[in-house]
A and B are shown apart, each in its own frame.
Chain A
Amino acid sequence: MNVQVVSSADYTLVSVEGRIDTTNAGEFEKPMMEVIEGGCTKLILDCSGLNYISSSGLRVFLVVQKKMMALKGQFRLCNLQPGIKEIFDISGFSSIFSVFPNQEAAIKG
């Protein structure tokens, strides 16, 4: 798994590549928490390179969402692959996250 963080004036863009599973969910959680603790109020997560997620990964998504909501910030996802989208639909996550088709839409939205 690779996580890249790019901060700009208005938002922070995180791109995740590879798999988020039980063996590495903590490696994904750490940089996400650092971004939130750094005071980010608009967090965009580009999932174009994310090709596998299990409940351990979904757990981190939910933790981030709860934290961002508590801070009155925004957490937006974009570029979900069909397999990931399916898991989001099954688990009811599609209705509790703001999902955008691409980065531009997520930045503007």
Chain B
Amino acid sequence: MDKESIDKVLRVNNQIEELTRVEGFLEELGEEWGLSMSLVFSLNLVLEEALTNTISYGFDDNFQHIIEICFNKTGVELSISIIDDGHEYDPTLKTDPDITLPAEDRPIGGLGIFLIKKIMDTVIYQRKENRNFLILTKNIES
């Protein structure tokens, strides 16, 4: 028998306030899909980091844009695709911060994408038909 595959989609606008809606959506998803509290925390963090970047820096105009977030769970594999029509930007190319530096030498900021890479198992970027696809996967067996 094939593993059961379930999908859910959330669409948000390019406004920071939408993060509150993402939080609520993830809480419901966590209950529906039986995800642990700590996993919901991690996914919330990952989405906030990715969306904050896209919303803050991804668009060159002041128009409203829709960002689509597709969730899929197949067995113990969870995947999240974030799709936007902003300018081309590959976050996987960003250099990791040096986390061994003392406080006085640590730059302010620059942790967001690093946290995504650390929390998720794979982070893949694709540019297709003038859209950015950020595809994140994680094995959620625990």
Contacts and interface: CB of A to CB of B under 8 A. Distances in A.
Interface in B79-117: 97, 99-104, 106, 108-109, 111-112, 114-115
Contacts, number: 67
B135 interface: no
A9 B119 CA distance: 42
A86 B37 CA distance: 14
Given A52-B44, A54-B48, A96-B103, A82 B38 contact: yes
Interface stretch (B2-10, B16-24, B59-67): B16-24
Contacts of A87: 45, 115
Contacts of B97: 92
B49 interface: yes
B52 interface: yes
B45 A66 contact: no
Interface of B, helix, strand, loop or mixed by DSSP: helix
A73 to B, nearest CB: 13
B25 interface: no
A27 to B, nearest CB: 14
Interface residues of A, number: 27
A1 interface: no
B103 A83 contact: no
Given A21-B19, A22-B19, A23-B19, A55 B103 contact: no
B45 A62 contact: no
A54 B45 CA distance: 6
Interface of B: 16-17, 19-20, 23, 37-38, 41, 44-45, 48-49, 52, 97, 99-104, 106, 108-109, 111-112, 114-115, 118-119
7 contacts: A23-B19, A23-B20, A62-B108, A82-B38, A83-B38, A92-B97, A96-B106
